[in-house]
Amino acid sequence: MVYHRHVKKTEHIYEFQNNVDTPPSRINIGYARVSTKEQEEELKRQIDFLELFLIKQGKPFKIISDIGSGIDYTKPGLNEVIKLISSNQVDTVYVLYKDRLVRFGVKLIEEFAKHHNTKIEVINQTIDKIDEEEFIEDILTIIQIFSNIFARKTNRNEEDIINKIVQRLID
């Protein structure tokens, strides 16, 4: 088995191929994600598990990972997965937990993948993994986005809007 590794700042792409001479027509993708740099051990654990799982499949595969929020749709790894799906290169995308792909909008990505004859499989169906810190980060990001939009539309101070939102959540 040939092992090719390509690493960028916020994404890791590991490629595994059985036969170097014949390029695969469609591959499997393992996608791993954590929200923050402090969770790199968890990211490594996800990558290791995906690697073992995908080696057993016996088909060429790539493992693509990101460090970033589940509601950030601009992550390089996620965009690479979408690009590969849209070019009909992917048979199946594997994730350990449903929220690893994206926090919201999984159904949309599944529908998009279906139109390209790509399956999305969640390996661990029994547990939806939502780390408390990750969830809080996602909520804060959503509040930031909406307060920014509202502040621009109303010419109000964004910090005042955030404070009002927090106050409403506390009450």
- pLDDT per residue over 58-111, tens digit each? 888 899 999 988 888 889 999 999 999 999 999 999 999 888 888 878 889 999
How far is 55 from 134, CA to CA, in rounded Å?
29
Q: What share of the chain is helix, strand, coil (3-state, %, to 5)?
A: 45, 20, 30
65 is an active site residue: no
Q: What is the SS3 assignment for 129? A: coil
pTM of the model: 0.69
**CATH number of residue 61's parent domain:** 3.40.50.1390
Q: What is the mean pLDDT of the chain?
A: 79
**Catalytic entry in 25, 35, 86, 87:** 35
Give the helix/strand (H/E) hosting 20.
none
pLDDT of residue 124: 80
Domain presence at residue 98: yes
Tell me, yes or no, whether 127 lies in a domain: no
In terms of domains, do 30 and 103 share one?
yes
Residue 117 CB neighbours (<10 A) = 11
